[in-house]
Amino acid sequence: MVAALNETLLDESRVPAVVADVQALIDAEVSDKSGASGLALKGGYGAVKKVGPSIVPDAIEGLLPAFVTKLEPYWQSFTASGEAGFSEYLVARSDEVADSLLGVTDERIEGSDRGAVKKVYSSLRPSAKKNVIEALPRLGTLVQKHAN
């Protein structure tokens, strides 16, 4: 039996490395964006980071348990499938995975009392699914790295 993701990714000794890797993933994904929507995303991300330098790592740490919960069924199915890469597994189910993960952030942002963060999120939300789908290869690699 493969260990549950909450036993690996949320292990107290691993959380700082997982959070750092997730922030590096987000930074890389934002950096890779181009065009008008890329500029908007970069601007919004930069604005959030200026509001408070700890917002991004704090948000990652706060959301990590919910994201791990959403990823768990995919991880268990992946490990049972015998496929080699979790990235490919996620990409093959990209619409479903993206919707599941975005459900976490949608729910959390509704309860936020930070007006600036809510404003930025609402302006970026329409393109969020596409961005999440584009991040799935990196996310799968990250999860597989920390889960093994």
Which residue reads 């993960």 in tokens?
Answer: 101
Contacts of 99 (CB under 8 A, 6+ apart): 129
Q: What is the reported pLDDT for 51?
A: 86
Q: Can you list the alpha helix ranges (DSSP code H) found in the chain?
A: 5-8, 15-32, 35-51, 55-81, 86-92, 94-110, 115-124, 128-147
Please state the domain extents for the chain: 5-147
pLDDT one-digit tens code per residue, 86-132: 999 999 999 999 999 999 989 888 888 888 888 888 887 888 899 99
* Per-residue pLDDT at 1: 57
Q: What is the pLDDT of residue 118?
A: 86
pTM score: 0.85
In tens, the pLDDT along 24-46 reads: 999 999 999 998 888 888 888 88
What is d(CA 47, CA 127) in angstroms, rounded to the nearest whole number? Answer: 17
